[in-house]
Amino acid sequence: MNLDELKLTDKRKAICQRLDLNNSDEILSYYPFRYEMFNEVHYSDFKINSNVCFKGELISSPSTFRKGKLATTRFKVLYEEEVILVTIFNRPWVNNVRSNETITITGRYMGNNKVTASNYFTKDVIGEIIPYYPLKEGINQNEIRKLIEYTLKKCEGELKDILPSDLISEHHLIDYLTAIRNIHNPVNSDLLKKAISRLKYEEFLRFYLSLEILKGNTTSADKKKKEFSEVKVNDLIDSLNFELTEDQKKTVDEILADLSSNKVMYRLIQGEVGSGKTAVAMIGLYANYLAGYQGALMAPTEILAKQHYQSLKDILEPFGVRVGVLYSSMDKEKNVKNAIKNGDIDVIVGTHALFSKDVVYSNLGMVIADEQHRFGVRQRQALKEKGNNVDFILMSATPIPRTLASSIYGDMDVSTIETLPAGRKGCKTYLIKKNSIVDIMDDIRKKLEEGRQIYIIAAAIERLDNYNAKDVSGLYEALKEEFSPYKVALLHSKLSTEEKDSIMKSFNANEFQVLISTTVIEVGVNVKNATMMIIYDADRFGLSQIHQLRGRVQRSDYEGTCYLLTDSKDEDVLKRLDILCKSNDGFEISYEDLKLRGPGDILGTRQSGIPAFILGNLIEDTRFINAARDDAHRIMNDQQKKEYRIYYDKIYQNASKNFVS
C-alpha cells in the first residue's frame, strides 16, 4: 500500500517522508537497530559495575540538581526489602513520578545500594523486549513504534507468504507474518531470533535471485572473435612513459583473451585508487579499435569524462585512433552524435549522454563503465545494447576481496590490480578529535610555503537546519582571509559545468592553492601538486569514500597527508576512523565498510534494481548466503514448480520496477 492507501495522518506522512518510507513494505522493513531486554535481576545477584533491571516502589520524592546543562535527579526505591538510591542524569521529568508508585529501573549497580540508571518506566516492563529504531531529529521512538503498529494492523490481511513452502520447511523458517510481528514486537527472545533468521535468509534469496534475473544471459552469449595485431598492441604499451605493473600486465592479458574469445566479455576490473585501471582499459579499447570496432568509455562526471578524453587523446591519436567526447551540456553535441553514427569517431568518452536514445553507434564493440557503482544496472545495460554482443568492462576503485566479489557479482570475471605504480608514496592519515583546523594550522602553512596545494572537504554545500555539519560556503567565507596571501577557491555540485571546469583548470594550474570542496572531487580529479587533504565531519563519510577522497593527494611521487576532523565522542565511530589511519589498503578498508554498512552504497546495488541488505551482513552471514545462493539457482532452474514460478515472477517484477532509467 502507498501512503494514501494507508490513510495516514499528516503527521505520520511527514515522518515517513523524513525517513524516506514510501509504502507499507518500506515501513514494515524499517527494522529496529537494537533491542532492550528487561530480564529482572534479583538483589542477591547484584554485582558492582554489572547491568541490573528491577521493579521497585518509589519511597522518596525525586530531587533534581542542575550544574550548567547537566541535570542530576536522585530518588530512593524499595526493592526486595532493600533501599536503593537511584541517580539518573538529564531526566528532570522524573519529578512527575509520585511516591509509592511502582517503577522499573534499568542501569548499572555501583555498590553500596547505589544504582546509576540508564532508563526508567512507570509501567511493568519486566519480561518485555523493547525495540529501538534509527531516528532523525524531531522524531521519537514512540512515534515510529505507533506508525509501524498501525501499518501492521492495516496490512495484516495482505501479508501473504510467497516463499516456496519446501524452502520454509527445509530451513526451519517461521512464516512471514509471524516474522514481521516479532521483529517489531517480539513475544520472546526465541521468536525474535527466528524472525531475524527468516528475514535475513529472504533478503539474501531476493538479492541472489535478482542478480540472476538482471544478469540474464550476459555471460553465456556468443560473439564473433575479435582479431587484432598483438604486435601493434605491444607497440602502444612500449610507447607509454611508465612501465605496467605485474597486475596490470596480467589484467591486460585477460582482457585481450576475452576480446579474442567467442564469448562476450563481462569483466570487473577492481583496484586501488591510482592503481592504473584506466591505462589497462585504454589498451583494451585500442585492441578493440584494431579489430574494427568502436569503443565507449562511460564516466560518472563531466570533469572525469574530460580528463579521460584528454588522456586517451594524447596517447591513442598518434596511433591513428580518433577520440571524441560527449556530455549533455557541451556545444556542437549534434556534430559529435553524427560522427559517432557515421563511424568518424573510434573511441568515444562521455557521461550518461552516451546511452541517450538519439546516440547511434556505427559498430560498437566494447563498453567500459568507470566507477561502475555510480551507474545503475539499467544504465549500463542501455549502453551495452547500443551494439551487438558488446564486450563489457566495469571498473571500480572500491575493491573487495576476490571471494566476496565472486559472491556478489556471480559469474562475472574479476581482475584485481593491487600493486601501485612505481614511485607512488601513498598517504599518511591522522585523526584529529576536534572539528577544527586550529591545531594543524602550522602544518597547513608549511605545506603552502613548500608550494604545495590543499583540498578542504565538507559534507554540505550550505548551512542547513537540523544538519550540524560544516558547509563549504561557510568555510570559504571563514578561511579565504585566513590563508592570505594564498588564493582560495570554492567548488560544489550546484555550480554550472563551465564554472566547475574553470575552477579545476585553475587549480590544476596552481592559480588557487586551497580548494574548498564537497565530494565532487572524489572521483578522478588529478592534480599532482595537491598533497594535503583536510576532511571536516569525517564521521559523516563512509570509509571507502574517505579512501577515495584521500586518493586525490597521492597522485605523484610526493607523500600525501590527510587529516580527519571530527567532534564525535562515539567510541565506535573513532575506532572506525582509526582504521584509515592504520591502513592505506583499499581492500582492507572496503572490507571493513562492508562489515559496517553492507554492500548497497559500496557496490551500487541500491540504484540497480537489486535489493539492498537491511539485516543481512555479507561478512557474518555465510550460512544464509550459501543457502540463499543455492536456492536462487534452484528457483531459476526449476520454473515448472508453481511456487517457484510465483516467487520468481514477484522478484522479477520488483527488479524491473526498480531499474534506474
For residues 103-110, give the mean pLDDT.
Answer: 93
The answer, yes or no, to whether residue 195 has pLDDT greater than 50, is yes
Q: Is the peptide bond before 485 cis (omega within 30 degrees of 0)?
A: yes
- For residue 416, the tally of other CB atoms under 10 A from its CB is 19
pLDDT of residue 459: 85
Report the candidate in 589, 625, 653 with the shortest Cα–Cα distance to residue 203: 625
Banded pLDDT at 661 (limits 50, 70, 90): very low
Q: Which of 404, 366, 401, 415 is nearest to 387 (CA)?
A: 366
What does the alpha-carbon distance between residue 467 and residue 475 come to, in Å, rounded to a whole number?
A: 15
Q: Which letter does DSSP use for residue 263 in this model?
A: B
Looking at residue 489, its pLDDT comes to: 94
Inform me whether the pLDDT recorded for 601 exceeds 50: no
Mean pLDDT, to the nearest integer, of 348-359? Answer: 88
Q: What digits encode the pLDDT tens for the residues 254-277? A: 999 999 999 888 888 988 777 788
Q: Give the H/E segment covering residue 455.
A: strand 453-457
The one-letter amino acid code at 312 reads L
The CATH class that applies to domain 224-262+276-396 reads: alpha beta
- Predicted local distance difference test score (pLDDT) of residue 609: 46
CB-based contacts of 546: which residues, under 8 Å, 6+ apart? 535, 538, 562, 564, 577, 580
Lowest mean pLDDT among 32-41, 459-468, 532-541: 459-468
427-583 has which fold?
Rossmann fold (3.40.50)
For the ranges 93-102, 314-323, 355-364, 626-635, the lowest mean pLDDT is seen at 93-102
Domain ranges in the chain?
39-121, 224-262+276-396, 427-583
pTM above threshold 0.85:
no
Does position 633 have pLDDT exceeding 90, yes or no? no
The average pLDDT across 137-161 equals 91
From CA 320, how far away is CA 291, in angstroms rounded? 13
Sequence-ordered list of residues with C-beta below 8 angstroms from that of 227, at least 6 positions apart, any chain: 260, 291
Query: Of 272, 262, 142, 199, whose CA–CA distance to 551 is shortest?
Result: 272
Separation of alpha carbons 553 and 549, rounded Å = 8
Name the 3-class secondary structure at 78.
strand
Question: For residues 107 and 115, is the Cβ–Cβ distance under 8 A?
Answer: yes
> Mapping DSSP to helix (H, G, I), strand (E, B) and coil, where does residue 544 land?
helix
- Residue 602's pLDDT is 45
- More confident site: 272 or 89: 89
Q: What is the structure's pLDDT at 349?
A: 95
Name every residue whose Cβ is closer than 8 Å to that of residue 122 and which is 6 or more positions away in sequence: 97, 101, 103
pLDDT of residue 403: 56
Q: pLDDT class for 331, splitting at 50, 70, 90?
A: confident
Q: At what angle do helices 246-259 and 277-290 cross, to 10 degrees?
A: 30
- Asked if domains 224-262+276-396 and 427-583 share a fold, the reply is yes
Q: Rounded to the nearest 5 degrees, what angle is found at the Cα of 287, between the Cα atoms of 417 and 275?
A: 20
DSSP letter string over 474-541?
A: HHHHHHTTTTTTS-EEEE-TTS-HHHHHHHHHHHHTTS-SEEEE-GGGSSS---TTEEEEEETTGGGS
Whether 394 has a pLDDT exceeding 90, the answer reads no
Q: For the residues 197-217, what does the mean pLDDT come to?
A: 82
Per-residue cell: 366: 566494447
Instruction: Taking residues 325-352, report their average pLDDT.
Output: 90
Q: Which H helix or E strand runs over 296?
A: strand 294-298
Tell which CATH classification among 3.40.309.10, 3.40.109.10, 1.10.490.10, 2.40.50.1010 matches the domain 39-121: 2.40.50.1010
With 70 as the cut, is the pLDDT of residue 517 above it? yes
- Residues 131-148: what's their mean pLDDT? 90
Q: Which residues pair with 516 in a beta bridge?
A: 456, 490
